[in-house]
A = this chain, B = another copy of it.
Amino acid sequence: MLGNRQQLFDLIRRQASFLCVGLDPEMGKLPPGLQPGQPGEHPILTFNKAIIDATHDLCVAYKPNLAFYEALGPAGWDIFAATVDYIPDTHLVIADAKRGDIGNTSRLYAEAFFQQMGVDALTIAPYMGADSVTPFLGFPNKWVILLALTSNPGSQDFQFAPQDQGEPLFEKVMRKAMGWASPDELMFVVGATHPEQFVQIRAIAPDHFLLVPGVGAQGGDLQQICQHGLNRQCGLLINSSRGIIYASSGPDFAAAARQSALSLQKDMARILAEAGLG
């Protein structure tokens, strides 16, 4: 997608969806009936293309997690690049990389992902502070998606730790980061497994888009998140990975992926309509 925050909201209305599909394929989990693609095409790429074909009219974003591509060895980067190329230009492409390093090194990551690979958004880890995050800012129509409150059990270890003012660390991360960038280039990751936190998070960041993983396999509930998480531009991107791409382990995997995405999209269309955002 080439676009700003308003254009992302326009896309959400057009698709009646704020679904992000996580493209996290593993060799050991490919369906046995996967038909070979073009000659020489890697089966992971064939699988990704089938998932994209089956879901692109139901979602607004795709989120490949780099770990799944690095696990394929050097070929993985070509497969990642080919997957990004295959995603329709209308859609937001999020590289889930959780990068972050000292300033001059973060700059290299930013150039690699935004300029060379042409992704629209990149997930970033906040632990190293301002100069590890700000090199990713200032690329037109590109987004930093900063880890705030993650969906995994380990989020309890540090992210909830009370800081000097009593606020948990993830709130401190959000407040600090809001001084580095506007909602036009900054989103936050907030896990669906913490639905009780969305009231407070919206009090801190009323205008930001939130990328919400953890619906489906990890147990997050869509309705509950939307109740307090929606804002006047929707403001949510709900990610589902395993719940869609592995909806079936048989030769009907693409149809099953579509069915799973469709079920979420229908709920989203209703939620958007009820909120007057349709």
A204 touches B (CB below 8 Å): no
State how many copies of this chain the complex holds: 2
Point out the residues of chain B lying under 8 angstroms from A111, CB to CB.
71
Q: A153 contacts B130, CB within 8 Å?
A: yes
Q: B101 contacts A65, CB within 8 Å?
A: yes
| Residues of A166-191 contacting chain B, CB below 8 A | 169, 172-173, 176
What separation, in Å, do the CA atoms of A213 and B18 have in the docked complex? Answer: 42
Residues A127 and B71 in contact in the complex (CB < 8 Å), given A100-B98, A101-B98 = no
- Minimum CB distance partner of A72 in chain B: B112
Q: How large is the interface on A (under 10, 10 to 19, 20 to 34, 35 or more residues)?
A: 35 or more
Q: A116 contacts B161, CB within 8 Å?
A: no
Point out the residues of chain B lying under 8 angstroms from A26, CB to CB.
108
| Residues of A119-144 contacting chain B, CB below 8 A | 125-133
Point out the residues of chain B lying under 8 angstroms from A157, CB to CB.
126, 129-130, 176
Q: B172 contacts A67, CB within 8 Å?
A: no
Residues A127 and B130 in contact in the complex (CB < 8 Å), given A152-B103, A162-B163 = no
